[in-house]
């Protein structure tokens, strides 16, 4: 699946997007954050406080306990500050 990062999550990881292949036991948005955190120092830094990270699956907001299902795009970002 494609992972996309925004704002300081993007800056900390140092990438705009990438293809990721989490193992089958990673089933929810929250588990995906935990798995990504273990992919290196920059990921651990970006996700050091998982509770503030927002997740969108295929461009729709989801809670951390939402199943990944067949999502092809997972986006990770801080709370929005538009408007």
Partner 1 sequence: MTAQVMPTVRVQADDFDAAAEAALLTQGRTDIGAVVTFTGLCRDEGGRLAALELEHYPGMAEEEISRVAAQACARWPLQGVTAIHRFGKIAPGAQIVLVVTASSHRVAAFEAATFLMDYLKTRAPFWKKEHHKNGTSGEWVAATEADDVAAGRWGT
Q: Does 75 bind partner 1 (CB under 8 A)?
A: yes
Q: Which one, of 58, 55, 54, lies nearest residue 71 by Cα?
A: 58
Q: Does 23 bind partner 1 (CB under 8 A)?
A: no
* Min dist. Cβ of residue 2 to partner 1 (A): 12
Residue nearer to partner 1 on the CB measure, 23 or 59: 59
Residue nearer to partner 1 on the CB measure, 8 or 42: 8
The token pair that represents 56 in the structure block: 């969108």
Q: Does 72 bind partner 1 (CB under 8 A)?
A: no
Q: CA angle 47-11-78, nearest 5°?
A: 50
Residue nearer to partner 1 on the CB measure, 23 or 79: 79
Q: Determine the 3-state secondary structure of 41 from DSSP.
A: helix
């Amino acid at each position: 699946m494609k992972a996309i990062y925004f704002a300081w999550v993007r800056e900390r990881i140092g990438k705009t997007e990438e293809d990721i292949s989490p193992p089958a036991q990673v089933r929810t948005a929250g588990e995906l954050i935990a798995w990504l955190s273990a992919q290196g120092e920059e990921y651990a830094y970006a996700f050091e406080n998982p509770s503030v990270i927002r997740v969108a699956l295929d461009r729709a907001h989801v809670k951390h306990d939402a199943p990944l299902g067949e999502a092809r795009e997972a986006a990770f970002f801080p709370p929005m500050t538009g408007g």
